[in-house]
Amino acid sequence: MAGFGWAYINCEDSGSGGGGGHAGPLKSVQFLTSSTGTSGSESFTYDATGSYLQLTGTLIVSGTISASHYHIEDVAIIDASGSTYFGNSDDDVHVRTGSFYVGTSGSENPTFEVDVALSQATVMGFRGGYTAITSSNMTSSAGSFIYGVTATGDVNLRLHSAIGDNMSGAVYVVKDEIDTRVGAILIQASGSDTIDGGADYQLSGSYPAISLYSNGSNWFVF
């Protein structure tokens, strides 16, 4: 356009929001309002600087959502098929408020149930961790519930510490599994702990057993 210092462009055909062209607030994601026009809403925006898409309202998805990270504040219903996994680290903590039910599909009898109103847990069957005492000297751990003494002769079992809030109410069972034992089974407390006020407790007789619990400070026989 040599010789001209200006240009004129006719914009009459571009229209505006409703009839044609585009409209809506800044950063709004555009959607069709007619065959020739688009518009946007403050409820659906994209921030290029922060690289995030923001929706205010309800999202309905009929397919699959795939993401590397989910941050969900409120969940009303979870309906999932197949296996699910929670957590990826030993220090993860999953807190649940309310009752809890685990059972087979269609069964009215729970395999495991927690009723917060009654402060009770119900199980159809129970299997605690078992450790065989196979040597003359062993120390118990919080990871087992039942200790079966299979070593012959004199056996010394040292209890792990009873101290701590995480030990209050912990229960353990020790049972002699040898029918003709020659020797004694001595159960000793650790450090300053006691067993019914004493430093140790001895099992004797045919197939003796002992049940112990911690009150967070010491061991007691019951």
Domain ranges of the chain: 14-55, 97-125, 130-221
Confidence at 22, pLDDT banded by 50, 70, 90: confident
> If phi over 0 gives left and psi between -120 and 50 gives alpha, with beta otherwise, what is residue 215?
alpha
Model pTM above 0.85: no
Name the burial class of residue 47, with classes exposed (0-12), middle (13-18) and buried (19+) by CB atoms within 10 angstroms of its CB: exposed
Confidence at 107, pLDDT banded by 50, 70, 90: confident
Phi, psi of 203 (to 5 degrees): -95, 135
pLDDT exceeds 70 at position 175: yes
pLDDT per position as a tens digit, 109-153: 899 999 999 999 999 998 999 999 999 999 999 989 999 999 999
- The CATH class of 130-221 is mainly beta
**Beta strand residue intervals within 28-177, DSSP E:** 31-32, 37-39, 44-47, 52-55, 100-102, 112-115, 120-123, 130-133, 137-139, 146-149, 155-158, 171-176
Alpha helices in 106-156 (DSSP H): none
